[in-house]
Amino acid sequence: MHTRSLGAEGPQVAPIALGCAGMSDSTAPADEAEAIATIHSALDAGVTLLDTADFYGMGHNEDLIRRALREGDREKALLSVKFGALRDPAGTFVGVEGRPAHVKSALAYSLRRLGTDHVDIYRPARVDPATPIEDTVGAVAELIQAGHVRHVGLSEAGPETIRRAHAVHPICDVQIEYSLFSRNPEANGILDTCRELGIGVTAYGVLAHGLLTGTYRRPAEGDPRAHWLPRFHPDNLDANLALVDRLRPLADARGITVAQLATAWVVSENRALGNVVAVVGARRRHRVEEALAAAAVTLTEDDLRAVEEAVPADAVAGTRYAAPLMTLLDSERTAAQPSHSRR
């Protein structure tokens, strides 16, 4: 499989990474046997980067990956692990933590659950506003020196934070929500900063939490997305689905699905945004196959122009998350809301 570098000093990876969250945290319980088979299928197809977090399923996801990595498979896999999102016994998120002591303690538990002596990329899930990013990244750098971690990553970090972190230790990649429906990383300088510093970008939410699958119509009874994702709210949904419909003839003309077109747009090498890797969440093998087929699609400059005219960057109705969740995103922070700094 054609690969790309995850940052100037990072590993070579496929343009598709496997997001494992849905195997443990989902509105519907996952079939563990199928989830493990999906991981095997991805590795066999050349997808090496597995994205997980210690809070996915309260540790269940890391344990699942340990069981999936058969003898010899650990060396095939690159484990990207997030830490720092705090949960209570009911599973409710109660804050973020980036203090050095927590960084090291969290890794110790992750290594035990994953059954490995190191993780390949370790990153805070969110920037802790109460802890200087220099301290958080410095702790990961010490873990690298000790041989427990290979690379430092960030998630949902803004340009200033990325620069401060990179000054402490080279950052491998920044994980950010990026799709046809979430174009802010283009406008707020995140992609430009990563390209300037030689940092990779791993894009999650490439299908906009399901809106860009081309099959989504109305939320099922009890679907929580309408509550914490404003783009699914009835006030916004019709307008957003109309944008999806504008992609349908473009996908049909290429003989692919809307989901594949949206994925191909993110990873297209014809876009002057550097090498972006799409983190595609999957619980079943056929989803991996669809994503790999999308990565193989070559979009011309005319194709890209047509897609972006169909879904202009400012046309999507609603913010990414509900207001309380938006406040946790350093990537969305304004100059009037600086993150904690030692300076």
The sign of the CA dihedral 155, 158, 161, 166 is: positive
Q: Is residue 132 in a domain?
A: yes
Look up the CATH number of the domain holding residue 164.
3.20.20.100
| Residues with a known catalytic role | 56
Cα–Cα distance, 189 to 97 (Å, whole number): 25
Q: Is residue 338 in a domain?
A: no
Q: Is residue 341 in a domain?
A: no
89 Cα distance to chain centroid:
25
Q: Is residue 184 in a domain?
A: yes
User: Looking at the 3D structure of the chain, how many domains does it have?
Assistant: 1
What pLDDT is recorded for position 134? Answer: 98
Amino acid type, 264: A
Q: Is residue 201 in a domain?
A: yes
What pLDDT is recorded for position 272? Answer: 61
Q: Is residue 259 in a domain?
A: yes
Task: Enter the tokens of residue 179.
Answer: 């799709």
Polymer length in residues for the chain: 343
Q: What is the mean pLDDT of each run of 10 residues along the chain (343 residues)?
A: 88 96 75 94 96 95 94 88 94 93 98 97 97 98 98 98 98 97 94 95 96 84 78 92 97 96 92 82 93 95 96 94 90 59 44
What pLDDT is recorded for position 342? Answer: 47
Contact in structure between 93 and 86 (CB atoms under 8 Å): yes
Cα–Cα distance, 204 to 173 (Å, whole number): 12
What pLDDT is recorded for position 214? Answer: 92
Question: Which residues constitute the domain of residue 51?
Answer: 4-332
DSSP string over 108-151: HHHHHHHTSS-EEEEEESS--TTS-HHHHHHHHHHHHHTTSEEE
What pLDDT is recorded for position 140? Answer: 98
What pLDDT is recorded for position 91? Answer: 85
Outline where DSSP puts E strands in 138-219. Answer: 149-155, 171-177, 200-204
Nearest Cα residue to 282 out of 213, 225, 336, 335:
213
Q: Is residue 337 in a domain?
A: no
85 Cα distance to chain centroid:
15
Q: Is residue 139 in a domain?
A: yes
What pLDDT is recorded for position 95? Answer: 92
141 Cα distance to chain centroid:
22
